[in-house]
Amino acid sequence: MNRYRFQANEDDWRSVTFPPPGPAWCSGYGDGYSIVVAYANSEDEIRRFWPEAANIDCLNENAEPKFSDRFPKPDWYTEAKP
């Protein structure tokens, strides 16, 4: 997976289909948008789950999801088994 940051809907930053390909969090807000950090396999996958996504930046390629106090593991997320 890759770790992305992008702008999404200000009122509801969540993906349009659940569950998204990997964990995702709202990390803040700008003028008329939310800032989302999400794990996905490609930019195309980000656009499928967040059609409104703008200014998509790939922060890390081939990154396993890492969790912290700021980005806790979502209850629904389970790591893929090899």
51 confidence band (pLDDT: 50, 70, 90)? very high
User: Domain segments of the chain: what residues?
Assistant: 2-60
Q: Degrees (nearest 5) of the Cα angle 22, 20, 15?
A: 130
In this prediction, residues 26-54 reach a mean pLDDT of: 98
DSSP letter assigned to residue 75: T
Identify the CA nearest to 36 among candidates 20, 18, 16, 13. 13
CB atoms within 10 A of CB 56: 17
Check if the beta carbon of residue 41 is closer than 8 Å to that of residue 63: no
- pLDDT tier at 80, thresholds 50, 70, 90: low
What pTM value is reported for the model?
Answer: 0.91
User: What integer pLDDT is reported at residue 79 of this predicted model?
Assistant: 74
